[in-house]
Amino acid sequence: MRSVKIIVQYDGTDYHGWQIQLNLRTIQGEITDALSKIDERPVVVHGAGRTDAGVHAEGQVASFQLASNVGELELRDAINGHLDRDIRVLTAEFVEDSFHARLSARRKTYRYRIWNGAVAPPFLHRYVYHYRGSLDLAAMRKGASMLVGEHDFRGFTGAACDARVSVRNLERLDITRDGESILITASANGFLRYMVRTIAGSLIDVGRGHRPAEIIREALEQRRRDLAGTTAPASGLTLVQVDY
């Protein structure tokens, strides 16, 4: 048996998230099925992050054990040959047995993209949240600055979050604008379920003037989800990179 690390890109629009679910189409399920055909046995695939339904990835990482005696390029092409075009394995490499896509990860980076123009281009609509109104980026950045650092993010997750510990170190939370595109980039040692989308939705509410920036600090310190903003749509979120 050999340990394998793969980097995967996918358009998550038509999937029910990363994690295998009974009778539902998922990214992990599709990759698992492909590998089981290649290896002619059940293969267990571990992902670095459990992206939700509709969320995309540019640099998802997965690991598994392989029995077949194939090379790295041959393996990559074989997996892709069993997948639909909206999932692609970019690289496959053999790694030390101690490597685990989730447990070995040190940092994950997500990007939330808002299209802030009057009309969203049709070739982008699956990958952005289209908001036509004006957004106060200075107020959004003020709110974002309150979240950077190690905090208990219980107020920025969903009721379905099953994490036993809700403390995370949010190393980076940047807001940049490029034309009609506004990017919220977040890097942390880990994220709770819906955490990035809740942060994005909260900052959007601040930018719209619906909530003061100070409410972000209150939601964080009091760990109250009702004080944070709305959960932003999944379409705008992409897992960009996982660092080891």
Q: What is the CATH number of the domain that holds 126?
A: 3.30.70.660
Q: Establish if 102 belongs to a structural domain.
A: no
Average pLDDT over residues 76-82: 98
Q: Establish if 49 belongs to a structural domain.
A: yes
**Euclidean distance between CA atoms 46 and 192, whole angstroms:** 17
Domain span holding position 21: 2-95
One domain, residues 123 and 56: no
* R_g of the chain computed on alpha carbons: 19
% residues pLDDT > 70 (the chain): 98
Q: Supply the pLDDT for residue 169.
A: 98
The pLDDT mean for the chain works out to 96
Q: What is the CATH number of the domain that holds 81?
A: 3.30.70.580
Q: Establish if 157 belongs to a structural domain.
A: yes
Average pLDDT over residues 150-169: 86
| pTM: predicted TM-score of the whole model, two decimal places | 0.95
End position of a domain, from candidates 64, 95, 126: 95
End position of a domain, from candidates 53, 73, 95: 95
Average pLDDT over residues 162-189: 94
**Euclidean distance between CA atoms 7 and 243, whole angstroms:** 12
Residue from 52, 152, 178, 243 carrying the catalytic annotation: 52
Q: Supply the pLDDT for residue 161.
A: 66
Q: Is 97 a catalytic residue?
A: no
Q: Establish if 176 belongs to a structural domain.
A: yes
The type of residue at 80 is: N
One domain, residues 86 and 203: no
Q: Establish if 100 belongs to a structural domain.
A: no
Total domains, the chain: 2
pLDDT one-digit tens code per residue, 118-154: 999 999 999 999 999 999 999 999 999 999 999 999 9
One domain, residues 85 and 111: no
Give every CB contact of residue 27 below 8 A, 6+ residues apart in sequence: 8, 10, 12, 15, 17, 18, 47, 51, 57, 60, 87
Average pLDDT over residues 183-208: 97
